[in-house]
Amino acid sequence: MSDPNLFAHDPFARFQDWMAEAEAREPTEPNAMTVATATPDGIPSARAVLLKGVDRRGFVFYTNMQSRKGGELTANPRIALLFHWKSLGRQVRIEGRAESVTDAEADAYFASRPRISRLGAWASQQSRPLPDRMTLERQLADLDKQYPGDEIPRPPYWSGYRVNPHHFEFWQSMDFRLHDRTVYTRTTSGRWTLGKLYP
- Summarize pLDDT for 115-153 with one digit per residue, the tens: 999 999 999 998 899 999 999 999 999 999 999 999 999
77 DSSP assignment: -
CATH for 66: 2.30.110.10
Find the mean pLDDT for residues 99-123: 97
Residue 39 lies in a domain: yes
Model confidence at 18: pLDDT above 90: yes
Domain membership of residue 24 as a residue range = 4-113+156-197
Count of domains for the chain: 1
The catalytic residue among 177, 181, 186, 191 is 177
Phi, psi (5° rounding) for residue 113?
-75, 155
In a domain, residue 34? The reply is yes
The answer to whether residue 128 is domain-embedded is no
Euclidean distance between CA atoms 180 and 49, whole angstroms: 26
The verdict on whether 115 is a catalytic residue reads no
The pLDDT of residue 106 is above 80: yes
The span from the CA of 47 to the CA of 124, in Å, is 17
CA distance 162 to 101: 6
Residue 78 has pLDDT above 70, yes or no: yes
pLDDT tens digits, 23-73: 999 989 999 999 999 999 999 999 999 999 999 999 999 999 999 999 999
Q: Do 79 and 96 meet the contact criterion of CB atoms below 8 Å apart?
A: yes
Residue 7 banded pLDDT, cuts 50, 70, 90 = confident
Through-space distance between the first and last CA atoms of the chain, rounded to whole angstroms = 26
| Mean pLDDT, the chain, whole residue set | 95
* Residue 131 counted as domain residue: no
